[in-house]
Structure 1
């Protein structure tokens, strides 16, 4: 993939994300009245509507000399439920568009699979020699529905519910070709002043085919949450680093990184801005080695 086409591809991902962010800001901007908006913005179980626009540049790969990139749109929409025991439902949907790195099939068995946006793996098409060029396509959509039961636990919140993966992608290097379903659970603790900690865990099994010639899927995921809030809306921590294990291919994906962010306003619109460098040490296929993530999240407090 030459420099001109790579630059054009970067613009093709970044420009729609920026345009969408500005459109949402113009339509929904309003005053912020909640003093704890920064804490809510980093809490995955907060009753706070959010629209996340994210760009990730993957600057290095294990078993590939190329780079890639990914754009993500992620709406988080809470719903008030009519049940006193379970008053809230939090939905979170991740919609990725990505480019894949160039794959050198001459590197042997470790180049026979490529990492997906959700942390799983797909096999590269069989019977090919040489190199597979970089490709751009949608990834599969992953959507959560987390029910928050009312508990007598001060400063602690639990969310449980289903997670589903929708096979939006028809590209065999960016999607699984399977409908997937599984359970999810989240725990968040805010008892320690200025700190948030907890975790998200879920599992996906394939339940139906979108493409009948694709391999079965069984993947476990764990996402640690640890955030330290500073002054004036600043914070540091880890929040969306998704560790995964693919039971079919027996491969791990363990990204490490630290997010530096600030909750502020652009005009009247509250936003959560952050940058996050990432390093992924596991070398077991065509996997991202290092990346940089940039994020703009529009916040809509009630």
Structure 2
């Protein structure tokens, strides 16, 4: 089962990489500063495939190290001249130590999160986007996810003013578990 999940994840990643490679470059007449800011914009009108690595120390009873590599393809879709829908997927590849004495290290894929933001095509002032996030129970091992579907709102607000060397803002979402599971637990994540 874990091998099948890894193969499917590799197919999705390959398809997204191919789409990014075949897309026409939107950066033909942009300065290096504008491209750098656009690459940091989670609702920018640019196909991108960022990787984010998070390393957590002193995890578990033996103070092990957990590593989470988030593969985060961002794909904009033009709705019309005024609006874009920006899709952002987070696929976590996790390696973590055992959480019980005598247990083994766990490696695999965690729960995938998909967000779709509606955002102005030509922002005036601050850049913003609003939408929904869906969490899918795609974990390859029970220790790497919660086996529950989740759904909630998502919002992003950024400052990317021309001439300002700083990019700052926030991206926030809240995920509530939906449907029934094998137990009575309920999840609520504010990220």
Normalising by the smaller structure, the TM-score range is 0.7 to 0.9
Give me the TM-score of the superposition, normalised by structure 2: 0.76
Q: Is the 8 A contact 1:98 1:138 kept in 2?
A: yes
Matched, 1:164 2:134: yes
Give the Cα separation in 1 of the matches to 2:24 and 2:118.
28
Give the Cα separation in 2 of the matches to 1:99 and 1:58.
10
The one of 46, 49, 52 equivalent to 1:51 is: 49
Deviations 1:209-265 (A, max 9, x none): 4x42372101111xxxxxxxxxxxxxxxxxxxxxxxxxxxxxxxxxxxxxxxxxxxx
Give the Cα separation in 2 of the matches to 1:193 and 1:219.
33
Change (3 A) 1:44 1:148: same
Name structure 2 gaps, 5 residues minimum. Answer: 1-9
Q: 1:71 Cα deviation (Å)?
A: 3.0
Larger Rg: 1
Structure 1 counterpart of 2:5:
none
- Superposition map of 1:12-51 within 5 A: 27-28=21-22, 33=28, 34-35=30-31, 36-51=34-49
RMSD (Å), alpha carbons: 3.1
- Superposition map of 1:42-191 within 5 A: 42-61=40-59, 63-82=61-80, 84=82, 87-104=83-100, 130-149=101-120, 154-191=124-161
- The structure with the largest helix share of the pair is 2
Q: 1:131 Cα deviation (Å)?
A: 3.2
Change (3 A) 1:30 1:48: closer
Give me the TM-score of the superposition, normalised by structure 1: 0.50
Q: Is the 8 A contact 1:176 1:214 kept in 2?
A: no
Aligned residues: 174
Give the Cα separation in 1 of the matches to 2:131 and 2:118.
6
Name structure 1 gaps, 5 residues minimum. Answer: 1-15, 105-129, 222-302
Q: 1:30 Cα deviation (Å)?
A: 8.1
- The structure with the largest strand share of the pair is 1
Change (3 A) 1:53 1:193: closer
